[in-house]
Amino acid sequence: MKEDVLYHFSLSTSTHDFPTMFGDVKFVCVGGSPSRMKAFIKYMAVELGLDHPGAEYPDICEGTDRYAMFKVGPVLSVSHGMGIPSIAIMLHELIKLLYHARCSGVTVIRIGTSGGIGVEPGSVVITRQAVDGCFKQEFEQIVLGKRVVRNTHLDDWLVQELVRCSADLGEFPTVVGNTMCTLDFYEGQGRLDGALCSYAEKDKQEYLRAAYEAGIRNIEMESSVFAAMCNACGLRAAVVCVTLLNRLEGDQISSPHEVLVEYQKRPQRLVGHFIKKCLAAA
């Protein structure tokens, strides 16, 4: 194509110089909320010694309200919204952006929140592999009317390196486990407090305990397509999510706001330490 329009980023190869804007990117961190990803880039600016009084971190995607994108040094921070469709659209355009910018050796990490299974609230889960609601290690999509299945395994070296970084910090409990990716926050995750519910507490407990036995330690709504697309495109990737509650003990998130805010900073601190460690070794 003479021009590639990344519509949902409000960027185009004919109006933006991708190699100049993004050619030095080595780490891409993605998360659901625009405000959280802006806070992350501000945090990384301080950690990398690139912050200064009055520094602004403008939204590179300011021409749209679909996604937000921020950059400091070799770190790109992008919001992806909520759920598989939203993050999939973002990833298509992000991966094309990295290609047009001629980036190499890029690591992509999703940082976010989740519901824990058998782990205490505030624990950080580093995903070994993403699984679906039937505990299968796969992401299924219908393409041209046919079922296409892709692998959802995540990079083993990256998992172990993140575990080492958590040990370096020693600030919060961290576990490695499988992450269940669902299509919904309520019925898809076995909640009893949605508008629709066709099962009982006993059924929910049976399902969640089976998930725990299958090695699942948390539930969210983006990891499977994230792992599948990064795998398919040869990108080293990881998922690092904090748990806001233990789903074996309830459905609703009831911790005080200030506690939840602190929890949400934990994946940022872990991934920030990892990035600093990688850059120091380069």
The 10s digit of each residue's pLDDT in 168-219 is: 999 999 999 999 999 999 999 999 999 999 999 999 999 999 999 999 999 9
Examine the domain organization and report whether 147 and 38 are in the same domain: no
Would you say 253 and 223 are in contact if contact means Cβ atoms under 8 Å apart? no
Consult the annotation and say whether 264 binds a ligand.
no
What's the mean pLDDT in 257-269? 97
* Residue 58 CA from chain centroid, whole number: 21
Averaged pLDDT score across all residues of the chain: 97
What confidence tens digit (pLDDT) does each residue in 100-142 have? 999 999 999 999 999 999 999 999 999 999 999 999 999 999 9
Consult the annotation and say whether 150 binds a ligand.
no
Examine the domain organization and report whether 26 and 136 are in the same domain: no
Per-residue pLDDT, 282: 78
**Residue among 181, 193, 213 at smallest CA distance from 112:** 181
Examine the domain organization and report whether 243 and 150 are in the same domain: yes
What's the mean pLDDT in 265-280? 97
Consult the annotation and say whether 113 binds a ligand.
yes
Examine the domain organization and report whether 84 and 15 are in the same domain: yes
- Render 81-139 in DSSP notation, one character per residue: -SSHHHHHHHHHHHHHHHHHTT--S-EEEEEEEEEESSS-TT-EEEEEEEE-TTS-SEE
Examine the domain organization and report whether 70 and 124 are in the same domain: no
Consult the annotation and say whether 147 binds a ligand.
no
Final residue before a domain boundary, out of 105, 129, 161: 105
Final residue before a domain boundary, out of 105, 130, 156: 105
What's the CA gap between 198 and 218, in Å, rounded? 23
Consult the annotation and say whether 112 binds a ligand.
yes
Give the domain CATH number at 273: 3.40.50.1580
Tokens at 213, concatenated: 């036995």
Examine the domain organization and report whether 14 and 144 are in the same domain: no
Examine the domain organization and report whether 200 and 216 are in the same domain: yes
Consult the annotation and say whether 110 binds a ligand.
yes
Examine the domain organization and report whether 84 and 206 are in the same domain: no
Structural domain including 185 reads 112-281
Consult the annotation and say whether 268 binds a ligand.
no
Examine the domain organization and report whether 60 and 188 are in the same domain: no
Instruction: Read off the pTM.
Output: 0.96
